[in-house]
Amino acid sequence: MGTPKIKRINLFQLVMLALGSLIGSGWLFGSWEATKIAGPAAIISWVIGGLVIGSIAYDYVEIGAMFPESGGMSKYAQYSHGTLLGFIAAWANWVSLITLIPIEAVAAVQYMSTWPWSWAHWTHHFLSGGVITNSGLLVVFGFILVFTMLNFWSVTILTRFTSLISIFKIGIPLLTIIMLTMSGFHPGNYGTNLHEFMPYGSAPIFTATSAAGIIFSFDAFQTVINMGGEIEHPKKNIGRGITISLLISGILYVILQSTFITAIPPKMIAATGWHGIVFNSPFADMAILLGIHWLSVLLYMDAFVSPFGTGVSFVANTARALFAMEGNRHVPHFLGKVNLKYGIPRNAMLVNTILSMVMVTVFRSWAVLATVLSTATLIAYLTGPVTAISLRKMGPKLYRPIRLKWLPWMAPLSFVLASLATYWAMWPTTVEVIFIILLGLPFYFYYEWKNHFVSTRQAFKASGWMIGYLVFISIMSLIGSHQFNGLNWVPYPLDFVVIVIASLAFYYWGIRSYIHTEDFDKAQQLNQEAKERGEMEDN
């Protein structure tokens, strides 16, 4: 048994690990991207993004405490709705995770490409027109390999490394807020009326939530869920870890956005408008513009550290997700092997490294990667509220260390918010991501064939709501309002009304489609083990 050799992660380490994941390239680029899309109203986009992810995370707190296991986010849907829904959720989540590793490497290399020093001109070839070049791609590969090697031997190294880095990652944004506010504070940039505050209308506020990397910036709460099997006192610490880390990062992101808006010289806005503000290394460029050159040096350093901490954390997270998918019996068996000495799924980690390199070779832009990642994540998260309520119906007597009082109304709310945010990613991104997710289905059918299609029909029936939902959101993305790149057959804001009503219909269909399978029996056994462990820790 390798389990006793694994060092448990305490609450402080857990919060630092989550913050190490949450505060990555999102803060380096998100404020600029959001401002460019929505103007000063971008600050609302961060609040909306935090509410969307916070409501989804709420659902997972109860499930995560019930089933504290590595890679849990890739298993829960299968417990309540069988193999097909489990596969769709796990595959979508995994696609988002193998996208996140290269996006952090791309962020670091993009900041490198704008180094202003004469000795660093060779780095300027890493980026061309906002896209990573072939020479930059080799550096991105180097980052991905380093991320992997730091995870390869021990969870102890991981927690020590990320705890140290997370302190630095919080400190630099705070210093940036203070210095930019002292050097260039123009509250008038918010405007004196609604038109100046929302120069492009209200729709871009929602667009920015998905397209500017805001959803992506909050996504990392699942680090806590996916490491459930390695957390000390999961009964208490899963909920606390998610809540504390999301609150800290959310407050920091909102203040950073406000700082970015008020630091821009009014003459620049007057000359180009918010759409015309172009930075390759946003906060570093801003520091140079305001004459704070020493801060720009720190920011160039942090452009290594912030993505580095997130990249390292998510190599572990992604390996656990693929390891969990093997447990669902729909990917090759060798991916589920855990090195007993170090307690790490090394084969899964190496496969993810290779596929991350493939992903960044195809998608070489930070903004494109962020949008793809956000959409894939949201599709995976749609199963969370449905599973949480379904499990209450299937197993009312299951051990629930945390029983959420507001779950009956938070679950449908979070489903609706996730649906809207998926739509905000705009046509054709929504359909492109759904297509990438569907590319995994041959794996599903291959393993169903090997199992003689014993439960395939039942699994399709239980997943009908999700299949119908994906068809609906694809069509809605095409025919929706022109503000979200649609054909405008359903104008804004009527498109939101249609999505809300249809989403609620799919949600209620979903919570009535649960099935009792052998996976639910395994979940009950895992739940019993969690109960015994909880009782031991209480004593």
pLDDT tens per residue across all 539 residues of the chain: 344 445 677 788 788 777 777 777 788 888 999 999 999 999 999 999 999 999 999 998 888 888 877 667 778 898 999 889 988 988 888 888 788 888 888 888 888 888 888 887 888 888 887 788 899 999 999 988 887 777 665 555 555 555 566 677 788 889 999 999 998 889 999 988 999 999 999 999 999 998 888 988 887 777 777 666 677 777 778 888 888 989 998 999 999 999 999 999 999 998 888 888 888 788 888 999 888 989 988 888 877 776 666 666 667 666 666 666 666 666 666 666 665 555 567 777 888 888 889 888 888 888 788 888 888 889 989 999 999 999 999 989 898 888 888 999 999 999 999 999 999 988 888 888 888 888 888 888 888 787 777 778 888 899 999 999 999 999 999 999 999 999 999 999 999 999 999 999 999 999 999 998 888 888 898 888 888 877 776 66
∠ CA 146-148-154, nearest 5°, is: 115
For residue 119, the tally of other CB atoms under 10 A from its CB is 7
Phi, psi of 102 (to 5 degrees): -70, -30
Residue 5 lies in a domain: no
For 8, which DSSP code?
A: P
Sign for the CA dihedral angle at 477, 480, 485, 488 comes to positive
What distance in Å separates the CA atoms of residue 275 and residue 298, rounded to the nearest whole number?
Answer: 27
> How far is residue 272's CA from residue 285's CA, in Å, rounded to a whole number?
17
Q: Six-digit token pair at 119?
A: 């000795």
Alpha helices in 113-154, H assignment, sequence order: 134-151
For residue 7, the 8-state DSSP code is P
- Rg over alpha carbons for the chain, rounded to the nearest Å, is 22
Does some domain include residue 74?
yes
Q: Which residues partner with 131 through β-bridges?
A: 128
Please state, in angstroms and rounded to a whole number, the distance separating the CA atoms of residues 373 and 367.
10
Backbone CA torsion sign across 186, 192, 194, 199: negative
Q: What are phi and psi of 25, to 5 degrees?
A: -70, -15
Structure tokens at 176: 């940036």
User: What 8-state DSSP symbol labels residue 128?
Assistant: E
Encode 53-88 in three state secondary structure: HHHHHHHHHHHHHHCCCECHHHCHHHHHHCHHHHHH
What CATH number is associated with residue 15? 1.20.1740.10
| Separation CA 274–CA 264 (nearest Å) | 10
- 362, part of any domain: yes
The predicted-structure confidence for 475-534, as pLDDT tens digits, reads as follows 999 999 999 999 999 999 999 999 999 999 999 999 999 998 888 888 898 888 888 877
What's the predicted TM-score (pTM) here?
A: 0.85
Tell me which residue of 513, 423, 508 sits closest to 52, measured CA to CA: 423
121 domain-assigned: yes
With the CA atoms of 163, 164, 170 and 176 taken in that order, what torsion angle do they form, in degrees rounded to the nearest 10? -170
CA angle 465, 85, 87 (to 5 degrees): 150
User: Which residue range is the domain that position 429 belongs to?
Assistant: 11-538
Is 212 inside any structural domain? yes
Domain annotation covers residue 3: no
What's the 3-state SS for 8-55?
CECHHHHHHHHHHHHCCHHHHHHHHHHHHHHHHHHHHHHHHHHHHHHH
pLDDT digits over 132-153, tens only? 889 999 999 998 888 777 766 5
Return d(Cα 346, Cα 323) in angstroms, integer.
9
Q: Are 181 and 259 in contact (CB under 8 A)?
A: yes
H-helix or E-strand spanning residue 394: helix 383-394
DSSP secondary structure string for all residues of 239-285: HHHHHHHHHHHHHHHHHHHHHHHHHS-HHHHHHHTGGG---SSHHHH
Domain annotation covers residue 1: no
- H or E, element range at 131: strand 131-132
Query: What backbone torsions phi and psi does residue 484 show, to the nearest 5 degrees?
Result: -115, 30
In a domain, 426, yes or no: yes
DSSP state of 330: S
Domain count, the chain: 1
